[in-house]
Amino acid sequence: MRTQVAIIGAGPAGLLLSHLLERRGIDAVVLESRDRAYCEQRQRAGMLEQGTVDVLRACGAGARLDREGLTHHGLELRFGGRGHRIPLSELTGGKTVTIYAQTEIVKDLIALAPEGRIRFGAEVVEVDASTPRVTYRENGRLHTLDCDLIAGCDGFHGVSRAAVPNATVHEREYPYAWLGVLADVPPSTEELIYCHHERGFALHSLRSPEVSRLYLQVSPTDELAAWPDERIWAELRTRLATGDGWTLKDGPIREKAITPMRSFVTEPMRHERLFLAGDAAHIVPPTGAKGLNLAVSDVTALAAAIADGGLDGYSESRLRQVWRAEHFSYWMTTLLHTDHSADAFARRLQLSHLDYVVSSTAAATTLAENYVGFAYDGR
């Protein structure tokens, strides 16, 4: 087989890249080791920046997003038992964010793909970045896919990242993890609540008007068995409590998981004819909601570079935006999470910083601009 671009991984990055290339008349084949059902059921949260929504609409994947996505014009920072609204749209010239699950984006993009573009159950076993060529196993047999270039969109544990020799790796582990739950209960809020509490961070998000997504800061060593549903709701009520009568709705929890938090960047994001995108190149802690949006920015830039002959500048340009997102995610994480090893001085500094963010228009604008996403020009 031969194609112009071999794409490894059928997550949002790989699928979207294939559609962006198609719109430019460039052939691509997507190789995915899992089956279609797994890809369409892999649960991930989804907070979409304005730019991400615009890209999905432009490639024809915006119909259901526009019907079912929940557009937000602000968010709330909550600490000291009080809520403080950050008016995102007002501070950023009208930009919004949209709640729409990553799982649904994958379904929409798969449904748009023509027959044969995505090869599910095709496990890539070797990447030759110089030829270039991809070797994959399908139905127990080895096959090769010759191409002009390779896009590695197969995540942190995929083969693409390992195929970049002598890469420089930057990494940070955090002493926090998130216990995330998906609950069959209408949300208790119309906009996301980011809450700092002495017992730990909490986040009240939502999946739909009928389903809530909530998170608790826990220890990375915690196990799910230590968190029965009753304890989760009790802890959420404690951390999210306010003095104005606000109440938290509870209900059946359908899913729960504990996710450690880390920052990771590998550079460069290119080796010969292999180009990395998304989690294959970088991971951010989820506090800033940048992971999916960075992946979309990567493949949008990569598609343009492939079509316009700008591949030599791809890695340098993308890494500038990646590091901006890494810093914002680090800042949000350290601003809102509770370091139980910190002394009273450090805790008072953290509260002072939170108070500054909600009382200063300049500080709130910095948060808002980063949260909704920059129109990045690559310079």
What positions carry a catalytic annotation?
A: 72, 194, 286, 290, 371
Are the beta carbons of 13 and 294 closer than 8 angstroms?
no
Strands 133-138 vs 141-146: parallel, antiparallel or unpaired: antiparallel
How is 193-217 classified by DSSP, letter by letter?
Answer: EEE--TT--EEEEEEETTEEEEEEE
Q: Is 220 helix (H, G, I), strand (E, B) or coil?
A: coil
Find the angle CA(50)-CA(290)-CA(373) to the nearest 5 degrees.
35
Q: Is 271 helix (H, G, I), strand (E, B) or coil?
A: strand
| Sign of the CA dihedral running 106, 160, 259, 122 | positive
Give the contacts of 368 (CB within 8 A, at least 6 positions apart): 86, 87, 88, 91, 92
Burial of 50 (C-beta count, 10 Å sphere; 0-12/13-18/19+): buried
Report phi then psi at 127, rounded to 5.
-120, 120
Q: How far apart are CA 283 and CA 265, in angstroms?
A: 7
Tell me the two tokens of residue 216. Answer: 């608790």
Neighbour tally for 52: CB within 10 Å: 26
* Strand-pair partners of 75: 86
* CA proximity to 194, closest of 292, 265, 88: 88
